[in-house]
Each structure stands twice: as structure tokens, then as C-alpha cells.
Amino acid sequence: MLLFIGLLIGLILGLTGAGGSVFAVPLLLLLGGMSMADATGISLGAVAVTTIYASLRNTFSRNTPSVLWKPGLILALSGALTAPLGKWLGMQINELWLIGSFSLLAAIIALRMWINAQKNPASARVVRAGNFADVPSPDHLCNLNPTGQFELRPRCVSGLLIGGLVVGVLSGLFGVGGGFLIVPLLLALSAVSMAQAVSTSLLIIALISSSGFISHLLLSETQHWQWLLFVAAGGVGGMIIGQAISHKIANVLLQKLFAVSLLIVSVVMIFSTTLTPT
């Protein structure tokens, strides 16, 4: 069952541009029978392994948009600093409240996925996104130089740092990768393409999730390496399948399907938790 759950997680990650990793915790809770603490920890580990694989694959692929290294590393390192804090906070909160908060977050992400697919269908087709914009918008915090690279000025760096710190806390707290915040943040900060934002987010998610998982190992009394092995192996397999078939599927419909599925899963998770006898 854990291998199957990992396969689903990897497949969803491979078929979505942002927000796919949020499915991991509900699947581990509902199908894997884990506690919230274990589910968030295993989720972070599995997402880390899966996105590390995807990042390495993209690095050696000629058809993949270039990774935005400078802003990506600033976001990743600042997020990696606060991911352990988020994991620690999660251990201090009552599990029912934590699950309720996660369900609310999942519902917000589902709504955002639906609206994004409805209003910006082109952005859902990550591989077909537009090229680098030659002229940055004056409303962005980060400008691009003529070669398309970020100009890391104080306002830009502060925006990246604050964004990374917030993503890190949420990632450690809820066991999510943070792509639902990272991709919009990169798009909002500067005139980069959707494809570049998604490609860069894999690197950021990999580092932040790794930090969160390490903190899980240090703070948790029990370490379920066998669980992680099965879920991570399935995740990599699902990512391989997802990346192979993503260009053949109508991504707008997929985004809407995932949005509805995520909303249903979050509601089921709430009811299954509140109705379970203590």
C-alpha cells in the first residue's frame, strides 16, 4: 500500500506545476493509517527524494528550462532554516487542530488551482509556457538584466528571504513541499516564464523538504525507514510516469481534476478524524 501511495504522490507531483505535494499527507493519513506527525515526516522525506530525482533529471535534460540558481538558492536556504521550526511547532499543536489547519490550507490550494486553470489555461501547460520576457515589469520587486538573470538588489533579496522563511515554516508544519507558494512567488517577483518557475521550484522543494525531514528524524522518537523506502521508491516511479505522459494530457483539465480531488480529500480527512473515536 505504501508503494502505491508513493506512486500516486510522484504521479501527482509530475503532472502538476505547483501544489502536488499537498496530496502526500492526506494519502498517508487516509490510506497509510499514519499519525499526523509520521505522515508529515514521511511526506517530507518522500517529496525530498522525488524532487531531488526530478531536479537531477532536469539538470541533464536539454529541453528543460534553465534553473534560476541565485533566487532559487536564496529561497531554498532561507526555507531550510525555518523548516525545522515548522516541524517543531507541529509537534506542539494538538493533532486535531493540525489536521483542521492542513485541511483549510488544502482547500485554499485547491481553490487557487481551479482559478488558475480557469483564468490562465496557458500557465497550466508548463512545458508550453512562454519564453523569458525581454522587458521586466516595473511592478516586480526583482528586475532582469539583458541576459535574463535576476538583479539581486536589496528589495529583491528581502522578498526572496521573507518568502523562503514563510515557505519553510509551512513546509515543516504541514509536510508539504511548498510549490503552491514558491511558483507564484517567483512569478510575482519577476518576469520569468511559468516553465522556469516550476523548474526552479523543484530545487527549492528538494532542499526545504530535506531540511524538514532531517528535523523529523532528530525530533521523532520512532524512525520508520521502511515506510520512507516504500513511499520514496513509489514517488520516484510515479514522477517518471508523470513526466513521460504529462505532454499528452490536457493540463487544464488535470489542474481542475486535481483541485476537486484535493478538496474532496481534505473534507474526507476532516470527517474521518473527527468521527474516529478517541
Domain containing residue 91 = 2-274
Q: How would you write the pLDDT of the chain (278 residues) with one tens digit per residue? A: 888 888 888 887 777 766 667 888 888 888 888 888 888 888 888 888 888 888 887 766 655 556 778 888 999 999 999 999 998 998 888 888 888 888 888 888 888 777 877 776 665 554 322 333 333 344 456 766 666 666 777 888 888 899 899 999 998 888 887 777 888 888 877 767 777 787 788 888 889 999 988 988 888 777 778 888 888 898 888 888 877 776 666 567 777 777 888 888 878 877 776 665 44
92 vs 94: CA distance, rounded Å: 7
- Asked if residues 249 and 22 have their Cβ atoms less than 8 Å apart, the reply is no
- For the chain, counts of helices (H) and of strands (E): 11, 0
Q: What is the pLDDT of residue 165?
A: 93
For the record, the C-alpha cell of 216 comes out as 523529523
Main-chain dihedrals φ then ψ at residue 145, nearest 5 degrees: -80, 175
Beta bridge partners of 144: 150
- Looking at the structure of the chain, the number of domains it has is 1
Q: Is 158 exposed, middle or buried (0-12, 13-18, 19+ CB in 10 A)?
A: exposed
